[in-house]
Amino acid sequence: MGYQLISADNHIIEPRDLFTNRMPTKFRDRAPRVVAGADGGDGWTWNGKPPARTFGIEAIAGRGSRISGYKWEDILPGNYDGAAHMADMKSAGVDAAVIFPATSIEAYVEEDREFALAAIRAYNDWMFEDFESVDPKRIVGLGMLPVDDGNEAAIAELHHCLKKGARGFFIPAFPHKPYYDTSYDPLWKEVAAAGVPVCLHRTFGGKNPAGGFQPNVPGVNVGGTVIRFFSSIDTLTYMVYTGVFKRHPNLRLLAAEVNFGWVPFWKQTLDQCFEQQKSWARFPIDSQPSAVLGKNVFVAVLDDMVGFDFVNKDPQLADMAMFSVDYPHSICLWPDTATKARTITAGISVAHRDKVLAGNAARVFGLQ
Protein backbone atom coordinates (compact mmCIF):
# COMPACT_ATOMS: atom_id res chain seq x y z
CA MET A 1 0.00 0.00 0.00
CA GLY A 2 1.08 3.59 -0.50
CA TYR A 3 1.88 5.52 2.68
CA GLN A 4 1.50 9.30 2.69
CA LEU A 5 1.62 9.97 6.44
CA ILE A 6 3.21 7.74 9.09
CA SER A 7 3.64 8.53 12.77
CA ALA A 8 6.92 7.10 14.08
CA ASP A 9 5.93 7.92 17.64
CA ASN A 10 2.52 6.95 19.04
CA HIS A 11 1.66 5.72 22.51
CA ILE A 12 -0.81 3.52 24.35
CA ILE A 13 -2.01 2.68 27.84
CA GLU A 14 -1.94 -1.07 28.30
CA PRO A 15 -5.35 -2.76 28.82
CA ARG A 16 -6.20 -3.08 32.49
CA ASP A 17 -6.27 -6.90 32.41
CA LEU A 18 -3.07 -7.41 30.40
CA PHE A 19 -0.83 -8.64 33.21
CA THR A 20 -3.47 -10.42 35.27
CA ASN A 21 -4.47 -12.41 32.17
CA ARG A 22 -1.10 -13.00 30.55
CA MET A 23 1.53 -13.33 33.28
CA PRO A 24 2.28 -16.83 34.65
CA THR A 25 -0.19 -17.98 37.30
CA LYS A 26 2.36 -17.67 40.11
CA PHE A 27 2.65 -13.92 39.46
CA ARG A 28 -0.97 -13.00 38.91
CA ASP A 29 -1.79 -12.17 42.55
CA ARG A 30 0.79 -9.39 42.44
CA ALA A 31 0.62 -8.59 38.74
CA PRO A 32 0.47 -4.88 37.78
CA ARG A 33 -3.09 -3.63 37.69
CA VAL A 34 -5.24 -0.51 37.48
CA VAL A 35 -6.53 0.78 40.84
CA ALA A 36 -8.10 3.93 42.20
CA GLY A 37 -5.87 6.79 43.27
CA ALA A 38 -6.20 9.40 46.00
CA ASP A 39 -7.51 12.01 43.55
CA GLY A 40 -10.42 9.82 42.43
CA GLY A 41 -8.83 8.82 39.15
CA ASP A 42 -7.41 5.43 38.14
CA GLY A 43 -3.79 4.50 37.53
CA TRP A 44 -1.32 1.65 37.34
CA THR A 45 0.28 0.09 40.39
CA TRP A 46 3.20 -2.34 40.38
CA ASN A 47 3.43 -2.79 44.13
CA GLY A 48 -0.19 -2.93 45.29
CA LYS A 49 -0.09 0.63 46.64
CA PRO A 50 -2.20 3.49 45.26
CA PRO A 51 -0.70 4.85 42.01
CA ALA A 52 1.80 7.69 42.25
CA ARG A 53 -0.22 9.45 39.53
CA THR A 54 -3.53 8.61 37.91
CA PHE A 55 -4.36 8.82 34.19
CA GLY A 56 -4.22 12.28 32.69
CA ILE A 57 -2.36 14.17 30.00
CA GLU A 58 -0.73 11.05 28.57
CA ALA A 59 -4.03 9.42 27.61
CA ILE A 60 -6.58 12.05 26.71
CA ALA A 61 -5.68 13.82 23.43
CA GLY A 62 -8.39 16.19 22.25
CA ARG A 63 -10.46 15.80 25.42
CA GLY A 64 -8.71 17.82 28.07
CA SER A 65 -5.38 18.66 29.67
CA ARG A 66 -5.62 17.72 33.35
CA ILE A 67 -2.34 16.20 34.44
CA SER A 68 -4.19 13.41 36.27
CA GLY A 69 -7.51 12.46 37.83
CA TYR A 70 -9.18 10.55 34.99
CA LYS A 71 -10.91 7.23 35.50
CA TRP A 72 -10.36 4.29 33.14
CA GLU A 73 -13.69 5.02 31.45
CA ASP A 74 -12.55 8.56 30.63
CA ILE A 75 -9.44 7.75 28.61
CA LEU A 76 -9.45 7.24 24.86
CA PRO A 77 -10.16 3.64 23.77
CA GLY A 78 -7.36 4.11 21.26
CA ASN A 79 -4.99 3.77 24.19
CA TYR A 80 -5.63 0.06 24.61
CA ASP A 81 -7.64 -1.10 21.58
CA GLY A 82 -5.87 -1.48 18.24
CA ALA A 83 -9.00 -0.99 16.14
CA ALA A 84 -9.91 2.22 18.00
CA HIS A 85 -6.32 3.45 17.72
CA MET A 86 -6.29 3.04 13.96
CA ALA A 87 -9.77 4.52 13.62
CA ASP A 88 -8.44 7.66 15.31
CA MET A 89 -5.41 7.66 13.00
CA LYS A 90 -7.46 7.14 9.83
CA SER A 91 -9.82 9.95 10.79
CA ALA A 92 -6.80 12.26 10.92
CA GLY A 93 -5.25 11.06 7.66
CA VAL A 94 -2.51 8.96 9.26
CA ASP A 95 -1.78 5.76 7.35
CA ALA A 96 0.36 3.91 9.91
CA ALA A 97 1.83 4.32 13.39
CA VAL A 98 4.75 3.02 15.45
CA ILE A 99 3.65 2.17 18.99
CA PHE A 100 5.72 2.69 22.15
CA PRO A 101 4.93 0.96 25.49
CA ALA A 102 3.71 2.71 28.62
CA THR A 103 3.55 1.25 32.14
CA SER A 104 5.38 -1.86 30.94
CA ILE A 105 8.66 0.08 31.10
CA GLU A 106 8.45 -0.28 34.91
CA ALA A 107 9.82 -3.77 34.27
CA TYR A 108 13.24 -2.19 33.66
CA VAL A 109 13.47 -1.02 37.29
CA GLU A 110 11.67 -3.99 38.88
CA GLU A 111 14.00 -5.76 41.33
CA ASP A 112 12.48 -9.22 40.84
CA ARG A 113 13.94 -9.97 37.43
CA GLU A 114 11.93 -13.15 36.86
CA PHE A 115 8.79 -11.13 37.47
CA ALA A 116 10.09 -8.34 35.21
CA LEU A 117 10.87 -10.68 32.33
CA ALA A 118 7.41 -12.21 32.65
CA ALA A 119 5.87 -8.74 32.44
CA ILE A 120 7.92 -7.89 29.35
CA ARG A 121 6.87 -11.13 27.69
CA ALA A 122 3.23 -10.48 28.60
CA TYR A 123 3.40 -7.01 27.03
CA ASN A 124 5.13 -8.21 23.89
CA ASP A 125 2.68 -11.05 23.34
CA TRP A 126 -0.27 -8.69 23.81
CA MET A 127 1.18 -6.12 21.44
CA PHE A 128 1.72 -8.56 18.58
CA GLU A 129 -1.16 -10.96 19.16
CA ASP A 130 -3.86 -8.40 20.00
CA PHE A 131 -3.05 -4.76 19.32
CA GLU A 132 -0.93 -4.96 16.17
CA SER A 133 -2.80 -7.93 14.70
CA VAL A 134 -5.83 -5.69 14.09
CA ASP A 135 -4.01 -4.21 11.08
CA PRO A 136 -0.32 -5.18 10.71
CA LYS A 137 0.05 -3.00 7.62
CA ARG A 138 -0.81 0.08 9.67
CA ILE A 139 0.35 -0.75 13.20
CA VAL A 140 4.03 -1.29 14.05
CA GLY A 141 4.32 -2.41 17.65
CA LEU A 142 7.73 -2.20 19.30
CA GLY A 143 8.83 -5.29 21.19
CA MET A 144 10.53 -4.53 24.50
CA LEU A 145 14.09 -5.84 24.82
CA PRO A 146 15.35 -6.77 28.33
CA VAL A 147 18.76 -5.22 27.71
CA ASP A 148 19.81 -5.34 31.38
CA ASP A 149 19.32 -9.09 31.73
CA GLY A 150 22.20 -10.25 29.56
CA ASN A 151 22.50 -10.99 25.87
CA GLU A 152 20.98 -14.43 26.15
CA ALA A 153 17.70 -13.08 27.55
CA ALA A 154 17.63 -10.07 25.22
CA ILE A 155 18.37 -12.10 22.10
CA ALA A 156 15.82 -14.73 23.10
CA GLU A 157 13.14 -12.03 23.43
CA LEU A 158 14.26 -10.50 20.14
CA HIS A 159 13.69 -13.76 18.29
CA HIS A 160 10.46 -14.49 20.18
CA CYS A 161 9.06 -11.18 18.93
CA LEU A 162 10.47 -11.57 15.42
CA LYS A 163 8.56 -14.81 15.07
CA LYS A 164 5.42 -12.84 15.88
CA GLY A 165 6.18 -10.29 13.19
CA ALA A 166 8.05 -7.56 15.10
CA ARG A 167 9.51 -4.81 12.89
CA GLY A 168 11.10 -2.70 15.61
CA PHE A 169 12.16 -2.80 19.26
CA PHE A 170 12.11 -0.52 22.27
CA ILE A 171 15.17 -0.08 24.46
CA PRO A 172 15.24 1.98 27.68
CA ALA A 173 16.89 5.38 27.83
CA PHE A 174 18.84 4.44 30.97
CA PRO A 175 20.31 0.95 30.69
CA HIS A 176 22.66 -0.43 33.35
CA LYS A 177 25.54 -0.13 30.89
CA PRO A 178 25.82 2.57 28.23
CA TYR A 179 24.89 1.37 24.75
CA TYR A 180 28.40 1.96 23.44
CA ASP A 181 29.68 -0.80 25.75
CA THR A 182 31.00 -3.66 23.64
CA SER A 183 29.07 -6.14 25.78
CA TYR A 184 26.02 -5.24 23.64
CA ASP A 185 27.74 -6.28 20.41
CA PRO A 186 26.13 -9.75 20.24
CA LEU A 187 22.70 -8.13 20.61
CA TRP A 188 23.40 -5.40 18.05
CA LYS A 189 24.66 -8.07 15.64
CA GLU A 190 21.37 -9.98 15.93
CA VAL A 191 19.26 -6.82 15.63
CA ALA A 192 21.17 -5.67 12.54
CA ALA A 193 20.91 -9.10 10.95
CA ALA A 194 17.15 -9.05 11.47
CA GLY A 195 16.92 -5.72 9.61
CA VAL A 196 14.86 -4.03 12.33
CA PRO A 197 15.58 -0.79 14.24
CA VAL A 198 15.93 -0.22 17.97
CA CYS A 199 14.09 2.80 19.38
CA LEU A 200 14.71 5.14 22.30
CA HIS A 201 12.16 7.59 23.60
CA ARG A 202 13.59 10.60 25.42
CA THR A 203 14.16 9.69 29.12
CA PHE A 204 11.70 6.81 28.97
CA GLY A 205 12.72 3.56 30.65
CA GLY A 206 15.31 2.61 33.25
CA LYS A 207 16.58 4.48 36.30
CA ASN A 208 17.70 8.04 35.64
CA PRO A 209 21.08 8.38 37.45
CA ALA A 210 20.34 12.07 38.00
CA GLY A 211 17.15 11.20 39.84
CA GLY A 212 14.77 12.72 37.29
CA PHE A 213 12.85 15.93 37.87
CA GLN A 214 10.13 17.03 40.28
CA PRO A 215 6.91 17.25 38.22
CA ASN A 216 4.95 18.99 40.98
CA VAL A 217 7.26 22.01 41.21
CA PRO A 218 5.93 24.88 39.04
CA GLY A 219 8.43 25.63 36.31
CA VAL A 220 10.26 22.36 36.81
CA ASN A 221 7.27 20.37 35.54
CA VAL A 222 7.33 21.95 32.06
CA GLY A 223 11.09 22.52 32.23
CA GLY A 224 11.48 18.76 32.13
CA THR A 225 9.56 18.69 28.86
CA VAL A 226 11.95 21.19 27.28
CA ILE A 227 15.09 19.40 28.45
CA ARG A 228 13.94 16.00 27.21
CA PHE A 229 14.05 17.23 23.60
CA PHE A 230 17.84 17.19 24.00
CA SER A 231 18.02 13.91 25.88
CA SER A 232 19.39 11.70 23.11
CA ILE A 233 22.55 13.71 22.41
CA ASP A 234 24.72 11.84 24.92
CA THR A 235 23.70 8.38 23.75
CA LEU A 236 23.95 9.15 20.05
CA THR A 237 27.31 10.93 20.34
CA TYR A 238 28.95 8.13 22.29
CA MET A 239 27.56 5.42 20.03
CA VAL A 240 28.86 7.24 16.93
CA TYR A 241 32.29 8.08 18.33
CA THR A 242 32.92 4.62 19.81
CA GLY A 243 32.27 2.92 16.50
CA VAL A 244 29.05 1.08 17.27
CA PHE A 245 27.77 1.79 13.77
CA LYS A 246 31.12 0.94 12.18
CA ARG A 247 31.06 -2.46 13.87
CA HIS A 248 27.39 -2.88 12.95
CA PRO A 249 26.88 -0.95 9.71
CA ASN A 250 23.30 -2.20 9.33
CA LEU A 251 22.21 -1.26 12.85
CA ARG A 252 19.57 1.49 12.89
CA LEU A 253 18.48 3.53 15.90
CA LEU A 254 15.53 5.90 16.22
CA ALA A 255 15.48 8.57 18.93
CA ALA A 256 11.80 9.47 19.23
CA GLU A 257 10.15 12.76 20.16
CA VAL A 258 13.35 14.78 20.22
CA ASN A 259 12.77 17.04 17.16
CA PHE A 260 15.75 18.12 15.04
CA GLY A 261 16.37 21.84 15.33
CA TRP A 262 19.43 20.96 17.44
CA VAL A 263 20.85 18.53 14.89
CA PRO A 264 22.75 21.02 12.63
CA PHE A 265 24.84 22.32 15.53
CA TRP A 266 25.35 18.81 16.92
CA LYS A 267 26.33 17.52 13.49
CA GLN A 268 28.80 20.40 13.00
CA THR A 269 30.32 19.82 16.43
CA LEU A 270 30.46 16.06 15.94
CA ASP A 271 32.49 16.42 12.75
CA GLN A 272 34.56 19.38 13.93
CA CYS A 273 35.72 17.72 17.15
CA PHE A 274 36.52 14.54 15.24
CA GLU A 275 38.78 16.41 12.83
CA GLN A 276 40.42 18.53 15.52
CA GLN A 277 41.07 15.73 18.02
CA LYS A 278 41.65 12.61 15.94
CA SER A 279 45.46 12.90 16.18
CA TRP A 280 45.35 11.84 19.83
CA ALA A 281 41.82 10.58 20.61
CA ARG A 282 42.30 7.09 19.11
CA PHE A 283 38.84 7.12 17.52
CA PRO A 284 37.76 3.64 16.37
CA ILE A 285 36.19 5.29 13.32
CA ASP A 286 37.95 6.67 10.27
CA SER A 287 35.18 8.47 8.36
CA GLN A 288 33.11 11.59 8.98
CA PRO A 289 30.92 10.88 12.03
CA SER A 290 27.84 12.61 10.63
CA ALA A 291 27.75 10.14 7.73
CA VAL A 292 25.65 7.84 9.93
CA LEU A 293 22.75 10.33 10.01
CA GLY A 294 19.94 9.02 7.85
CA LYS A 295 21.73 5.69 7.48
CA ASN A 296 22.01 4.47 11.06
CA VAL A 297 20.63 7.31 13.19
CA PHE A 298 17.13 8.76 12.95
CA VAL A 299 14.94 11.14 14.96
CA ALA A 300 11.17 11.52 15.28
CA VAL A 301 9.95 15.12 15.03
CA LEU A 302 6.77 17.05 15.73
CA ASP A 303 6.04 20.67 14.76
CA ASP A 304 9.66 21.81 15.00
CA MET A 305 9.69 24.80 12.64
CA VAL A 306 13.34 25.57 13.40
CA GLY A 307 14.27 22.09 12.26
CA PHE A 308 12.13 22.23 9.13
CA ASP A 309 13.67 25.58 8.20
CA PHE A 310 17.12 23.94 8.35
CA VAL A 311 16.12 21.20 5.89
CA ASN A 312 16.60 23.52 2.91
CA LYS A 313 20.16 24.28 4.04
CA ASP A 314 21.02 20.70 4.97
CA PRO A 315 19.06 18.02 3.09
CA GLN A 316 20.60 15.30 5.27
CA LEU A 317 18.06 16.29 7.92
CA ALA A 318 15.29 15.10 5.61
CA ASP A 319 17.00 11.70 5.38
CA MET A 320 17.04 11.19 9.16
CA ALA A 321 13.71 12.68 10.30
CA MET A 322 10.41 10.86 10.78
CA PHE A 323 7.09 12.51 11.54
CA SER A 324 5.61 12.11 15.03
CA VAL A 325 1.97 12.51 16.06
CA ASP A 326 2.55 11.64 19.75
CA TYR A 327 -1.04 10.40 20.15
CA PRO A 328 -2.74 10.16 22.65
CA HIS A 329 -0.88 12.75 24.72
CA SER A 330 -2.78 15.95 25.43
CA ILE A 331 -0.28 18.08 23.49
CA CYS A 332 0.02 16.19 20.22
CA LEU A 333 -0.58 16.62 16.48
CA TRP A 334 -4.02 15.01 16.60
CA PRO A 335 -6.86 15.23 15.60
CA ASP A 336 -6.03 17.84 12.92
CA THR A 337 -2.89 15.92 11.96
CA ALA A 338 -3.03 16.22 8.17
CA THR A 339 -3.41 20.01 8.34
CA LYS A 340 -0.48 20.35 10.72
CA ALA A 341 1.68 18.06 8.57
CA ARG A 342 1.04 20.26 5.53
CA THR A 343 1.79 23.41 7.51
CA ILE A 344 5.12 22.32 8.97
CA THR A 345 6.40 20.96 5.64
CA ALA A 346 5.15 23.81 3.45
CA GLY A 347 8.60 25.35 3.09
CA ILE A 348 10.50 22.25 1.96
CA SER A 349 10.57 20.37 -1.33
CA VAL A 350 8.09 17.62 -2.15
CA ALA A 351 10.89 15.05 -2.13
CA HIS A 352 12.02 16.08 1.34
CA ARG A 353 8.44 16.27 2.60
CA ASP A 354 7.68 12.76 1.42
CA LYS A 355 10.75 11.37 3.21
CA VAL A 356 9.89 12.99 6.52
CA LEU A 357 6.16 12.35 6.49
CA ALA A 358 6.32 8.70 5.42
CA GLY A 359 9.28 7.56 3.34
CA ASN A 360 11.91 7.25 6.08
CA ALA A 361 9.59 5.41 8.46
CA ALA A 362 8.42 3.06 5.71
CA ARG A 363 12.04 2.32 4.81
CA VAL A 364 13.30 1.76 8.35
CA PHE A 365 10.32 -0.21 9.66
CA GLY A 366 9.80 -2.25 6.50
CA LEU A 367 6.36 -0.97 5.63
CA GLN A 368 5.35 -1.83 2.08
- What pLDDT score was predicted for residue 215? 62
pTM: 0.96
- For the chain, the distance separating the N- and C-terminal CA atoms, rounded to the nearest angstrom, is 6
Q: Where are the domains of the chain?
A: 6-365
Superfamily of domain 6-365: Metal-dependent hydrolases (3.20.20.140)
> 157 Cβ partners below 8 Å, 6+ apart?
117, 120, 121, 124, 143, 144, 145, 146
- What pLDDT score was predicted for residue 171? 98
**Percent of the chain's residues with pLDDT above 70:** 98
Q: Within 13 Å of residue 358, how many CA atoms lie on the same side as its CB?
A: 19
Helix (H, G, I), strand (E, B) or coil at 256: strand
Cα-based distances in Å from 64 to 56, 69, 70, 330: 8, 11, 10, 7
How far is it, in rounded angstroms, from Cα 222 to Cα 253?
27
- What pLDDT score was predicted for residue 335? 96
- What pLDDT score was predicted for residue 148? 98
CB 263 within 8 A of CB 207: no
CB 60 within 8 A of CB 41: no
> 277 Cβ partners below 8 Å, 6+ apart?
none
pLDDT in tens, 91-133: 999 999 999 999 999 999 999 999 999 999 999 999 999 999 9
- What pLDDT score was predicted for residue 217? 76
- What pLDDT score was predicted for residue 211? 67
How far is it, in rounded angstroms, from Cα 1 to Cα 292?
29
How far is it, in rounded angstroms, from Cα 29 to Cα 27?
6
Phi, psi angle pair for 136, to nearest 5°: -60, -20
CB 153 within 8 A of CB 118: no
Residues in the chain predicted with pLDDT less than 70, given as ranges, are: 1, 211-216
